[in-house]
Amino acid sequence: IMLVIERHALLVDRLGLDGVHLMDGGRNLRQLRKDLGEDAILGAYCNTSRHDGLTAGEAGADYVSFGPVAASALGDGAQVDPELLTWWSEMIEVPVVAEGGLTVDLIHSLSDKVDFFAIGAEIWTQDDPLAQLHMLAAARNS
């Protein structure tokens, strides 16, 4: 499992993390790439904006994330259209990630449209985060 931290790029080296997940569409990607090096994972959350995703990809993002895919506190409340995920995975080489409001059913239905899922509140709000993570992972593989 690769471990990236949200927003706090300065902690990547200090904590030995794999990279950073930027929440601003990747506006600082070029500078962060210089600062963190080629091996760091730089991801860009782009909410529902195809334009922001393309811009992040051109700036060197290792992945682009869209969401939320369902009701969630993530972003501005707008939910990503699954067709954007399909289009991205068919047309763009930069890996695409779905996040926000993930459920077993959504993971199952989106597995062929995305490369990865970003899981956060979906497990940390549960009484047994590990069991929830196992359930969501099983949905990806079914």
Span 87-103, pLDDT tens digits: 999 999 999 999 999 99
Q: What is the mean pLDDT of the chain?
A: 92
Report the pLDDT value the prediction gives residue 140, as an integer from 0 to 100: 84
Query: Would you state the pLDDT for residue 28?
Result: 86
Complete edge-to-edge strand list for the sheet that includes strand 96-99: 4-6, 19-22, 41-45, 63-66, 96-99, 116-118
Strand partners, 118: 99
Task: Show me where the domains of the chain are located.
Answer: 4-100
Residue 103: the pLDDT is: 94
Q: Distance (Å, rounded) from C-alpha 43 to C-alpha 61?
A: 5
pLDDT at 15: 94
Domain 4-100 class, CATH top level: alpha beta
pLDDT of 69 reads 95
pTM of the model as a whole? 0.90
pLDDT tens digits, 35-45: 999 999 999 99
Q: What is the pLDDT of residue 51?
A: 95
Residue 93 CB contacts under 8 Å (≥ 6 apart), including other chains: none
The count of other CB atoms within 10 Å of the CB of residue 56 is: 27
Residues of the chain with pLDDT under 50: none
- For the beta carbon of residue 39, count every other beta carbon within 10 angstroms: 7
Please tell me the predicted confidence (pLDDT) of residue 83: 96
